[in-house]
């Protein structure tokens, strides 16, 4: 472990911490409102560590959904992490399977965004830097969830405060920042429209989870083809 690179990864994670704290806080409140205990909220944030999945989990628990239904839904929603890990895997081929597993386990949409931007500038990713980035985000997420669960005792209707929109708001912000950074507006517009069309069609005919996966795969393929033809 390179200490200097690790600390640099911690510092590079700082700009995303406000988003982590707000989203994690909202998730903790909603999980508590759904009837989970402090220990259950803590275990959920430690073991699942996925904002969208935890929001869905809390909603399905509150609705009285079956265990099988909750597990299946969370599984399909989190399948996107396979795509995120696959996109960064070329930078870590020299590492052992265990080190690769540790990086992939703690990879999130936000740390992937930071790592992708960093890789586009440096053309490489350092293992110690990645661990610093991931661990900082992970610990802050757990702390934010627990804080939200503790204070959630006094917030009975999180929807009135707009906390249920916290996660989509953060993703919109990340998307806008990436589009501005890339400065490839035509390509991004085509990819975005493709994702929306495929997602809506598959969501109507199949399911919302299948729509997310199909939209991601199709839009990513279209974007890759366009980039290579340019």
> In the chain, which stretches have pLDDT less than 50?
none
Together in a domain, 40 and 12: yes
CA-CA distance, 57 to 48, in Å (whole number)?
10
Together in a domain, 138 and 39: yes
Together in a domain, 193 and 95: no
- Choose the final residue of a domain: 166, 181, 196: 181
Is the model's pTM score more than 0.75? no
How confident is the model at residue 73, as a pLDDT?
Answer: 79
Number of domains in the chain: 2
- What residue has token string 């935890």? 54
212: Cβ–Cβ under 8 A, 6 or more apart, which residues?
A: 76, 77, 80, 199
Tell me which residue of 219, 213, 174, 171 sits closest to 78, measured CA to CA: 213
Domain that holds residue 142: 3-181
Together in a domain, 215 and 126: no
Tell me which residue of 220, 175, 230 sits closest to 198, measured CA to CA: 220
CA quadruple 121, 20, 104, 8: dihedral sign: positive
Asked if 87 and 116 touch (Cβ cutoff 8 Å), the reply is yes
Together in a domain, 60 and 91: yes
Together in a domain, 165 and 198: no
CA-CA distance, 208 to 77, in Å (whole number)?
9
Tell me which residue of 90, 91, 56, 83 sits closest to 70, measured CA to CA: 56
Residue 183 sits at φ, ψ, to 5 deg, of: 60, 40
Together in a domain, 23 and 105: yes
How confident is the model at residue 130, as a pLDDT?
Answer: 92
């Amino acid at each position: 472990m390179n200490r200097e690179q690790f600390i640099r990864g911690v510092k590079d994670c700082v700009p995303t911490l406000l988003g982590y704290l707000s989203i994690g806080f909202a998730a903790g409140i909603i999980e508590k409102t759904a009837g989970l205990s402090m220990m259950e909220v803590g275990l959920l944030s430690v073991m699942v560590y996925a904002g969208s999945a935890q929001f869905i989990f809390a909603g399905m628990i509150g609705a009285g959904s079956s265990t099988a239904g909750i597990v299946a839904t969370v599984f399909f929603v989190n399948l996107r992490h396979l795509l995120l890990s696959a996109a960064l895997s070329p930078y870590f081929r020299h590492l052992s399977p265990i080190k690769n597993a540790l990086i992939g386990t703690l990879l999130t949409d936000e740390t992937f965004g930071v790592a992708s931007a960093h890789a586009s500038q440096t053309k490489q990713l350092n293992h110690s830097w990645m661990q610093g980035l991931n661990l900082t985000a992970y610990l802050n997420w757990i702390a934010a969830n627990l804080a939200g669960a503790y204070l959630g005792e006094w917030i009975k209707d999180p929807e009135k405060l707009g906390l249920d929109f916290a996660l989509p708001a953060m993703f919109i912000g990340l998307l806008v920042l990436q589009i501005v950074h890339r400065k490839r507006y035509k390509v991004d517009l085509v990819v975005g429209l493709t994702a929306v069309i495929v997602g809506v069609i598959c969501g109507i005919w199949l399911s919302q989870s299948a729509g997310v996966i199909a939209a991601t795969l199709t839009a990513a393929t279209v974007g890759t083809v366009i980039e290579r033809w340019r």
